[in-house]
């Protein structure tokens, strides 16, 4: 199947390689953002950074993207969107990270800390470590802005419903196999550098930044290659023609109007919102337990390298399953992600709740902590693997029947605004629970209940959207 597909469609090969490089960069950013920030300030900092820093940055990103889209060609828009990421990484690794102490605005943070309650002290910590906060924000924007918006918009513009059913599962299979390479690469690089000298972590950070830039340059080159190939591809010439007419008209106001007026897009938005809330609830709860076991930057980074490999392995298995499930039924394939999250997430919350009960003996609590971390790891790997294959493939297929204007405006709003609204709303809930109850561990029963309710709503939205999708097709 694979050689034949590549032989028939060189454009497919180009898209697969683009996704491969995007995932490598995504894995690098994901590893660094958590290794540097969570180990210093704990998992409780995640809701604060997502609400107070990532969410405003996402709105600024959408505004800038909208502004540039009205003034630049799609080629220029793609490059101008990528350039800030490629500039930031070397600046961070070479200039900012080695001078974190000197760059910290200590006097300013001390002044504002006098006006903040103790439960909000983490905000001062984020301001003191502002380069790490910006790195975390950069990683979040790469996922939604580059991978979900730039890359998939380019792919959707040259696809039809029939071709998407055949190519998208295989595309996610090849693209997400990058984690099989990036995971061991990060693990071995950090492990090797850490054993060489005392500055091993700093050197590994510089090496990862250079790899990030090289992959970014490769993405730009592959993008221009895809444009040349798309001009000669005959399977979707009308889509390309329509895209040229609409690619530079993206008023921000119209994007929200499309979501409000179109029931089809509203259901896609609801599914995206439910996923973001559910995964954020489960992931932050898991990391609050994980950091209790892996407390240093190097240990956490090497663990993330191992998990990245497992993400890639899980994606291969899920992509193989998604190809069969999508051919059987779009609804069945779309239900796979919430069902898998519920099956693995509920046991994690139950074990974690029991391990933190006061009546549990200390030795047993330690064992249950490790068991909870293990089940949470399984939940995280399974959820992310399903998201990058089943969820992404079915979500992108749902956009294909729409006209090009709806694709462009609806997708930009859903990927950048709705996804961020889901993450920020869940972060707000977590922040409220932390301020009220004192920690994520003490809030675990509430987080688990919210996770279960949202997952059920998610399944209902998939059922409704499947009827509309079948009608469009």
List pLDDT tens digits, range 311-331: 889 888 887 787 788 888 889
pLDDT band at 254 (very low <50, low <70, confident <90, very high): low
Structural domain of 444: 2-233+251-472
Name the one residue in this structure whose structure tokens are 């749902």.
398
Structure tokens belonging to residue 159: 């696809």
CB atoms within 10 A of CB 245: 10
DSSP string spanning 340-370?
HHHHHHHHHHHHHHHHT-TTS-HHHHHHHHH
Calpha distance 392→403 (Å, rounded)? 19
pLDDT of residue 297: 76
Domain-embedded: residue 65: yes
Calpha distance 76→78 (Å, rounded)? 5
List pLDDT tens digits, range 417-445: 788 788 888 888 988 888 888 788 888 99
pTM of the prediction? 0.75
For residue 172, what are the CA distances in angstroms to 18, 22, 280, 385?
Answer: 11, 12, 22, 10
Calpha distance 289→380 (Å, rounded)? 13
- Helix-strand-coil split of the chain, %, nearest 5: 90, 0, 10
List pLDDT tens digits, range 105-142: 988 888 888 887 776 778 888 999 999 999 999 998 99
- Using alpha carbons, select from 183, 185, 155 the residue that is nearest to residue 170: 155
For residue 209, what are the CA distances in angstroms to 39, 72, 326?
Answer: 20, 28, 37
Calpha distance 427→277 (Å, rounded)? 8
Domain-embedded: residue 394: yes
Whether residue 408 is predicted with pLDDT greater than 70 in this model: the reply is no
Calpha distance 32→298 (Å, rounded)? 10
* Least confident range of 18-22, 183-187, 257-261, 392-396: 257-261
User: Do 458 and 271 meet the contact criterion of CB atoms below 8 Å apart?
Assistant: yes
Q: 278: domain CATH number?
A: 1.20.1250.20
Q: Please indicate whether residue 234 or residue 369 has the higher confidence score (pLDDT).
A: 369
Domain-embedded: residue 336: yes
Structure tokens belonging to residue 176: 């997400």
User: Do 112 and 124 meet the contact criterion of CB atoms below 8 Å apart?
Assistant: yes
Give the helix/strand (H/E) hosting 316: helix 297-328
Give the mean pLDDT of 211-227.
94
Whether residue 342 is predicted with pLDDT greater than 70 in this model: the reply is yes
- Using alpha carbons, select from 378, 134, 395 the residue that is nearest to residue 273: 395
Domain-embedded: residue 244: no
Whether residue 160 is predicted with pLDDT greater than 80 in this model: the reply is no
Whether residue 466 is predicted with pLDDT greater than 70 in this model: the reply is yes
Give the mean pLDDT of 11-24.
91
Please list, in sequence order, all residues whose beta carbon lies within 8 angstroms of the beta carbon of residue 210, skipping any fewer than 6 positions away: 90
* Least confident range of 89-103, 139-153, 253-267: 253-267
Domain-embedded: residue 20: yes
HSE, side-chain direction, 13 A CA sphere, residue 300 = 24
Domain-embedded: residue 240: no
User: Do 398 and 465 meet the contact criterion of CB atoms below 8 Å apart?
Assistant: yes
What percent of the chain has pLDDT above 90? 31
Winning range, highest mean pLDDT, from 54-63, 340-349, 394-403:
340-349
Calpha distance 90→206 (Å, rounded)? 7
Secondary structure tally for the chain: helices H, strands E: 23, 0
Q: What is the mean pLDDT of the chain?
A: 83
pLDDT of residue 245: 43
Domain-embedded: residue 243: no
pLDDT of residue 473: 64
Domain-embedded: residue 106: yes
Whether residue 350 is predicted with pLDDT greater than 90 in this model: the reply is yes
User: Do 65 and 153 meet the contact criterion of CB atoms below 8 Å apart?
Assistant: no
List pLDDT tens digits, range 174-205: 888 888 889 899 888 888 887 777 677 888 99
pLDDT of residue 12: 86
Calpha distance 319→324 (Å, rounded)? 9
Q: What is the largest CA-CA distance in the chain?
A: 69
CB atoms within 10 A of CB 375: 21
pLDDT of residue 117: 75
Q: Please indicate whether residue 247 or residue 232 has the higher confidence score (pLDDT).
A: 232
What percent of the chain has pLDDT above 70? 88
Task: Give how many domains the chain has, as a whole number.
Answer: 1
Q: Please indicate whether residue 305 or residue 89 has the higher confidence score (pLDDT).
A: 89
Whether residue 244 is predicted with pLDDT greater than 60 in this model: the reply is no
Structure tokens belonging to residue 418: 């709705």
pLDDT of residue 161: 66
Calpha distance 239→404 (Å, rounded)? 7
């Amino acid at each position: 199947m694979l050689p034949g597909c590549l032989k028939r469609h060189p454009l497919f090969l180009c898209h697969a390689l683009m996704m491969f490089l995007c995932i490598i960069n995504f894995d690098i950013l994901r590893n660094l953002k958590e290794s540097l920030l969570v180990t210093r300030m704990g998992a409780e900092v995640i809701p604060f950074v997502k609400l107070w820093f990532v969410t405003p940055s996402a709105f600024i990103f959408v505004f800038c993207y909208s502004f540039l889209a009205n003034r630049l060609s799609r080629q220029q828009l793609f490059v101008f969107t990528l350039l800030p990421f490629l500039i930031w990484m070397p600046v961070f690794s070479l200039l900012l990270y080695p001078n974190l102490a000197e760059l910290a605005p200590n006097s300013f943070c001390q002044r504002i800390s006098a006006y903040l309650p103790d439960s909000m002290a983490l905000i001062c910590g984020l301001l003191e470590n502002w380069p790490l906060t910006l790195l975390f924000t950069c990683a979040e924007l790469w996922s939604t802005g580059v991978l979900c918006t730039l890359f998939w918009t380019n792919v959707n513009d040259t696809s039809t419903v029939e071709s998407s059913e055949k190519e998208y599962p295989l595309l996610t299979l090849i693209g997400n196999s990058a984690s099989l390479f990036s995971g061991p690469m990060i693990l071995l690089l950090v492990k090797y550098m850490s054993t060489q000298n005392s500055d091993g972590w700093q050197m590994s950070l510089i090496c990862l930044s250079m790899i990030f830039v090289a992959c970014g340059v490769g993405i730009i080159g592959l993008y221009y290659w895809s444009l040349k190939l798309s001009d000669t591809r005959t399977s979707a010439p009308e889509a390309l023609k329509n895209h040229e007419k609409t690619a530079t008209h993206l008023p921000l106001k119209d994007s929200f109007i499309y979501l409000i007026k179109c029931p089809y897009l509203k259901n896609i938005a609801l599914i995206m919102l439910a996923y973001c809330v559910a995964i954020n609830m489960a992931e932050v709860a898991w990391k609050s337990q994980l950091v209790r076991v892996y407390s240093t930057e190097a240990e956490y980074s090497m663990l993330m390298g191992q998990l990245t490999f497992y993400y890639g392995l899980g994606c291969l298995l899920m992509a193989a399953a998604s190809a069969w499930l999508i051919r059987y039924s779009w609804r069945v394939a779309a239900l796979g992600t919430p069902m898998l999250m519920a099956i693995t997430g509920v046991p994690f919350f139950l074990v974690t709740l029991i391990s933190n009960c006061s009546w549990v003996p200390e030795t047993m609590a330690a064992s249950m902590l490790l068991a909870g971390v293990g089940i949470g790891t399984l939940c995280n790997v399974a959820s992310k693997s399903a998201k990058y294959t089943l969820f992404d493939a079915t979500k992108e297929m749902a956009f294909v029947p729409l006209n090009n204007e709806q694709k462009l405006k609806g997708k930009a709003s859903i990927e950048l605004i709705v996804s961020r609204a889901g993450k920020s709303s869940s972060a707000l809930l977590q922040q409220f629970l932390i301020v009220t109850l004192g920690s994520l561990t003490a809030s675990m029963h509430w987080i688990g209940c919210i996770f279960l309710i949202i997952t059920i709503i998610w399944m209902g939205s998939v059922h409704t959207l499947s009827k509309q999708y079948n009608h469009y097709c």
